[in-house]
Amino acid sequence: MASKTLFKSNAGSLIPAVDTVNEAGGIAYRFPAKHMLAQYAATGCLNSTFYATAEQQLATVLELCKNLEPEFIARTAIYARQRGYMKDLPALLCAVLAAKPNAGGLLAEVFDRVIDDARMLRNFVQIVRSGVTGRKSLGSMPKRLILNWIEKRSDDQLFRASVGNDPSLADVIKMVHPSPRSKGRAALFGYLIGREATMTEAGASWTANDLPQLVKQYEAFKTGASKDVPDVPFQMLTSLPLTSGDWKQIARNAPWQMTRMNLNTFARHGVFDDAQVTQLIADRLRNPELIGKAKVFPYQLMVAYTQVDSKVPTVVREAIQDAMEIAIANVPKAPNGVWVFPDVSGSMHSPVTGHRTGATTAVRCIDVAALVAAAMLRQNPGSAEVLPFESNVVTSCRLNPRDTVLTNAQKLASLPCGGTNCSAPLSELNRRKAEGDLLIYVSDNESWLDSPNYGSWGGDRTKTMVEWAAYKKRNPNAKLVCIDIQPYGSTQATEREDILNIGGFSDRVFDIIAEFANGTLHPDHWVGVIEAIAL
């Protein structure tokens, strides 16, 4: 018999060697270029994060785009906007296409799918004009696409889209010089760019009477000539002297996202004194169709719930919880056992969309991690267990699957923090000789405590991969998912048949996890999902 000492099985012998050092200084596996671009596009907001500045992120994305085919850049832009609900990075990728030789046709293919509202249009124009992608002028193709975008909108849509600056819609109109298709459209353009009604030799170019009806209603309300609140964006009205009745009318007309964001404002202005309006708002918040159209991040509902004032009625607060349950309805179920590892380390307490002066989100990475963990627990009662980790597994936290997602998410997000040790949960499962077919990390992947420079373990493979190999030996059908919620370029568990790395924090992440768990995901996993997008 061959010597068991010389020829013993080595669980880590087939694990690939690490090839990079992460931002925290730990050893890691570098994402391939396509995966890295997708990671940045799905999580990056071009704001400074815990480990990287906004400038570093921008430089990384532009460098990646130099060597990737335009078709993948175009598909990534669509994915990031339509499925990741991102804003800055999809607009940047469109600007990159605008600057690439012979990519005008591709830009035309994706423009309307990515630049789907006025904010995205303004983002695109701002990025192109900044010169970061290599040109400062719009160019003929982008100009035609912008003109087409304007032409497709009705007068009312354009007027409502005129909120926002740097550049404003008026600035964009001045840049591209659209030809008005009617006297009403000519009047609207003149109104938006601040040009007063004028007379020419041919007669009046436009008069106040030519303005679209919505603009007339708005002007009449501004001047006090009318008491009817016009159906315009909230931002157009807040600077005006509004009565309680005006606020109630605004609340009646408000779209879903505006309602979510202004519950405390409504409470301050007496909106909830009216039981009928209160019920209307509650019904709106829990409406599945409106939730889907709003493209709401589940964590935005968490923020709405945690920050809502006590003056907001109970029926409205409960509607937010109902909305949360609807928003996470596609969380996968795994009857053979689910382990969820939310990272509660120090870096996870940074804003999920990064730091930006005057506009930093109140939502932290840990809030998103806690929300994913709580959602998985809620959808898999009896078969799921949550193991929070930082330097070690946090064993003091006990969650009740019957509690609401928001309640459990708040418990997790309040845990004390330490360093980052991504291998800790797997080490704990191996110590327990635990079983389970689906394991999910929610982290920034910046593990360093289990790297040779910091801890007692040494080697050229991450400790996470070594522990995973040991777990797989006991659970051969197990699959590992690493949800990364920050725009960095490495992982602790390299991509392979049984390991999925995915970036983002929209509810669409759950769909991909479900496909991966069921074995129906494209062989290239997440990048394969992007490459399958039709152009």
- Pairwise CA distance, residues 389 & 369, whole Å: 11
Which helix (H) or strand (E) segment holds residue 378: the answer is helix 365-379
Contacts of 398 (CB under 8 A, 6+ apart): none
- Pairwise CA distance, residues 34 & 79, whole Å: 13
- Pairwise CA distance, residues 197 & 185, whole Å: 13
In the predicted model, residues of the chain with pLDDT beneath 50 are 1, 4-12, 199-204, 360, 454-458
Size of the chain, expressed as the number of residues it contains? 535
- Pairwise CA distance, residues 201 & 195, whole Å: 17
The pLDDT of residue 485 is 86
In angstroms, the Cα distances linking 356 to 40, 47, 257, 351 are: 17, 6, 22, 10
3-state secondary structure of 84: coil
Contacts of 79 (CB under 8 A, 6+ apart): 38, 41, 42, 529, 530, 533
Contacts of 358 (CB under 8 A, 6+ apart): none
- Pairwise CA distance, residues 93 & 65, whole Å: 8
The pLDDT of residue 199 is 43
The pLDDT of residue 51 is 62
- Of 9, 7, 10, 26, the C-alpha closest to 450 is 26
Count of Cβ atoms closer than 10 Å to residue 235 Cβ: 11
- Cα–Cα–Cα angle for 39, 118, 319, rounded to 5 degrees: 75
The pLDDT of residue 265 is 93
Which 8-state DSSP code applies to residue 196?
P
The pLDDT of residue 7 is 41
- Pairwise CA distance, residues 206 & 84, whole Å: 43
The pLDDT of residue 203 is 41
The pLDDT of residue 200 is 39
- Pairwise CA distance, residues 44 & 49, whole Å: 9
Is pTM beyond 0.75? Reply is yes
